[in-house]
Amino acid sequence: YLEYIEKMEEMNLNIASEYLIIAAELIEMKSNMLLPKPKLTEEEEYEEDPKEKLIKRLLEYQKYKEMSGIFKNMEDDRKNFFSKEPSNLKEYEIEVIPKLPEDLSLTDLLSAFEKFLKRKEYEKPLNTKITKKEYSVSDRCIEIKKIIKKSKKIDFFELFEEISREYVVVTFLSILDLARKHEIIIKQDKNFNQILIYDKDVEQKI
């Protein structure tokens, strides 16, 4: 091992500190083996065997060497990647918040909807029979469009015929979806006034 280090020195190679530490431990181990062994106390008898200690150190060193090799490969691979400035994707963004009239914000609509639910909760009979029914936004959108086409305009709250949670949520989402697609027009003359929903074609003629 010492001859190996000497050859590295002759070749002007950088010797890692780990090699020198291991060399020192090997010399210490060999010296201890050559010296006469005195009688050991009970505490000294339980000391870790120098050979086992060195083996553990070598295994640990090998583990770190392997990891450093992996990190080096990762660093080399990273050099093959090139970063770029983020692209402007605004033109591809989808408008998810429905565009409501300036005098009627989404907050106003939600506030009115919340008050409506509280009122209906008080009006709900104590004994009710619950029937399970599946609702979808797409189906409810079709129903709402038919209702508005027929009546030309309708009060926002009249669309909530049932009070079941699923029906109410699906209906509200359907109204927002239709508003987002500009298939209906939602209007409110003043705060706290009636909220009306118009068919887009009818509203344009008014």
Q: Do 98 and 180 form a contact (C-beta atoms < 8 A)?
A: yes
pLDDT of residue 187: 85
- The structure tokens listed for 103 are 């005098």
Q: Higher model confidence: residue 41 or residue 205? A: 41
Helices (H), 79-199: 106-123, 137-151, 165-180
For the chain, give me the number of helices (H) and strands (E)?
8, 3
The pLDDT assigned to 67 comes to: 76
Q: How confident is the model at residue 90 (pLDDT cuts 50, 70, 90)?
A: low
CA angle 150, 155, 161 (to 5 degrees): 85
Cβ atoms of 188 and 196 closer than 8 Å: yes
Averaged pLDDT, 105-126: 65
Cα separation, 43 vs 139, in Å, equals 83
Quote the tokens at residue 158. 């009249």
Beta bridge partners of 153: 198
pLDDT per residue as tens digits for the range 138-192: 999 999 999 999 888 888 888 887 767 788 888 888 888 898 888 888 887 777 6
Say whether pLDDT at 1 is over 60: no
State the pLDDT at residue 122: 53
For the record, the structure tokens of 71 come out as 């990190």
* Mean of all residue pLDDT scores within the chain: 70
Where do the structural domains in the chain lie, given as residue ranges?
2-78, 96-205
What percent of the chain has a predicted confidence (pLDDT) above 90? 4
| Residue ranges with strand state E in the chain | 153-155, 184-188, 195-199
CA distance 73 to 40: 49
Topology (CATH) of 96-205 = Arc Repressor Mutant, subunit A (1.10.10)
